[in-house]
Amino acid sequence: VSFKIEFFACGLTSVNRDLVVFGIEDFSISNGTSEPSLTVLVSKGKTYEEKAHDPFHMYCDERTSPFQFQLEYLADEQWFFILSPFDIVKAERRNYDDHIEYLINKKKFDEAIQAFEKPLNINEKPKKYTKQ
């Protein structure tokens, strides 16, 4: 299986059948690095499709080369750690409300409404967008 990505891959790990890639969009010696991101790629047979792409900020990320970042995954806890010489960031699996908010931020309003009305897991109900 092969695939093409449009960013510098600084770390790669698998979670079940998905791939999680820690990457940098742009890098040059004079300008440093752009904002890092975590991308989840879901397996679709012999290809992978982007399931989520979340940019975030790390302290002094612009002064860090792509080769100085490290991605670690603790499978038992389902936690990711992104390490750099200046910072450590912990990333966790999204909950149901996070998923709906992600769809809204990506302007996928129909999918957000569908996810709200028909959760994949009967035990998961949105809390943030429900009148309490």
Checking 90-99 for CB contacts under 8 A at 24+ apart, the result is 91/38, 91/56, 94/52, 96/124, 96/125, 96/126, 96/127, 97/126, 97/127, 97/128, 97/129
pLDDT tier at 61, thresholds 50, 70, 90: confident
Question: 10-14, 27-31, 52-56, 96-100: which has the minimum mean pLDDT?
Answer: 27-31
What local confidence, expressed as pLDDT, does residue 126 receive?
64
Report the amino acid identity of residue 101. Answer: E
Rounded CA separation 24/65 (Å): 9
What phi and psi, each to the nearest 5 degrees, are found at residue 25?
Answer: -65, -45
Is a pLDDT exceeding 80 seen at residue 107?
yes
Residue with token string 């890639």: 21
pLDDT tier at 31, thresholds 50, 70, 90: low
Q: Residue 104 burial (CB < 10 Å; 0-12/13-18/19+)?
A: middle
Instruction: Please indicate whether residue 118 or residue 12 has the higher confidence score (pLDDT).
Output: 12
Q: Residue 52 burial (CB < 10 Å; 0-12/13-18/19+)?
A: middle
pLDDT tier at 110, thresholds 50, 70, 90: very high
What local confidence, expressed as pLDDT, does residue 99 receive?
81
- Beta-carbon-side half-sphere exposure of residue 113 (alpha carbons within 13 Å): 3
